[in-house]
Homo-oligomer: A and B are copies of this chain.
Amino acid sequence: MGGNAAATETVEISGHLMDSGVLARVLDDVLDYGCDYVIEKFDVGRTHDDESYARIGLSAHEPSSLQRLLMRLQAYGVNPVDPGVAVIRAVEQDGVFPDDFYSTTNLETVVRLDGQWVPVEHPEMDCGLLVEGSRVRTIPMSDVKKGDKIVCSAGGVKVVLPMRPHSATVDDAWHFEFMNSDVSTEKPQALLVRQIAERMREVKAEGEKLLWVAGPAVVHTGAAPAMVALVQAGYVDVLFAGNALAVHDIEAAMFGTSLGVDLSKGRGVEHGHEHHIRAINTVRKAGSIAAAVESGVLTGGVMHALVTARKPFVLVGSVRDDGPLPDVYANVIDGQRAMREHLRGVGFAVMVATMLHSIATGNILPASIPLVCVDINPATVTKLADRGSAQAMGIVTDIGLFLEQLAHQLVPDYA
């Protein structure tokens, strides 16, 4: 915070700052608004009944950024130490506020008018503050009339934070907070794909291995060709999966085009057909997936690509498996041991479309290995994180399009 800051302000906040996480959000917002901060004073509540107090110096290159940050921070009960007096401007056009109107929160608010703190009537968010004589009330944008007096900027306005008692009573249930739910379907996904591709290239450049954990939706969504391209280009060093991924991959390779249930036509995959059980029988007869590749019985798909590229895979069974394939660990504890063996040298893990195997891998991964979990079902991503895999990045998206785009990013001549 140096001499080139065009605008500064000192703010303060008191309350249960330590156990509410509110301070983390305040400081995040300061940076988000392109401003900077110095924590000038911090009196910490010693026990969980004590309040804390913080005084923070804010600075910005743009006075307008600072004014808007000040309004923003009021949503957390952060107010300027010197609130100043309210700036009041007249509306020039029906239904339009002055440019720098004070945009309200839904919290209790007071305005400094003529040396008095006047409480705002009817708190409502995203409104303006209308001054009528010695009273102040919220007014929606569409109701404002030419000549109305509106509070502008953040000066002379204070927000009163509601008390949040922290005590172990039945009322605890009311403390739910889900403001920071970060597993979202509303993210710029194409950008995330590029970031993941970049990370994967770095990991390979550093000589580390890429671990994939995948479910059968890779096949059902038509993404097997993209996955095959990634294997061939060296971006899959080891695969963890269950019986189902391998079975449906092999089933598609064996029957996908000879019969009418046809991925190339965009029809849904029928369950209940006998193809999968016949595919399993064929591989059991060959003895293993590798043997089926060698003998020419299996000529395409993800498992074929792994065998051909001499990349290892660990398939661990589950109680819902048919067959299973001869390569599948029927004993899950043996399967966990085999997975642990293959974690050496892994620098990054990509988990797509499988809750069971993603959680299983999350359970044995050290926290130092970053991972990305991709699923169209938000619950899978949330569950993984809830179980302690804090290094997880979650993406709620379509597996088929995700793998298609990832292949586009990583495989030069991928069509």
Stretch touching chain B among A203-211, A299-307, A313-321: A313-321
What are 6 inter-chain pairs, A to B, with CB distance below 8 A? A36-B48, A125-B272, A176-B182, A185-B398, A187-B268, A331-B331
With a cutoff of 8 Å between Cβ atoms, the chain B residues found around residue A18 in the complex are 23-24, 27, 39
Q: A181-B178, A221-B188, A356-B318 are in contact. Are A38 and B27 (CB under 8 A)?
A: no
For the side of the interface on A, what is the size category? 35 or more
- Chain B hits for A276, CB < 8 A: 126
**Is A37 within 8 A of B47, CB to CB?**
yes
**A192 pairs with B178, CB closer than 8 A:** no
This chain: how many copies in the complex?
A: 4
User: B285 and A357: CB pair below 8 A?
Assistant: no
Q: Bound complex: CA of A340 vs CA of B124, how far in Å?
A: 10
Interchain CB contact under 8 A, A33 and B259:
yes
Chain B residues with CB under 8 Å of A38's CB are 46-47
A412 at the interface (CB under 8 A from B): no
A369 to B194, CA, bound (A): 37
Question: At the interface, yes or no: A19 with Cβ under 8 Å from chain B?
Answer: yes
Interface residues of A in 159-180 (CB under 8 A from B): 162, 168, 170, 172-174, 176-180
Interface residues of A in 364-385 (CB under 8 A from B): 364-368, 370, 376-379, 381-382, 385
A195 near B266 with CB under 8 A, answer yes
Given that A32-B259, A259-B34 are contacting pairs, would A187 and B367 also be in contact in the complex, using a CB cutoff of 8 Å?
no
Question: 1/0 contact trace for A386-407 toward B, CB 8 Å?
Answer: 1111111110111011101100
**A141: Cβ under 8 A from any B Cβ:** yes
A34 to B168, CA, bound (A): 10
Q: Say whether B319 contacts A181, CB under 8 Å.
A: no
Within 8 A of B (CB), among A121-174: 122-126, 140-143, 162, 168, 170, 172-174
A189 touches which one: B93, B222, B278, B385 (CB < 8 A)? B222
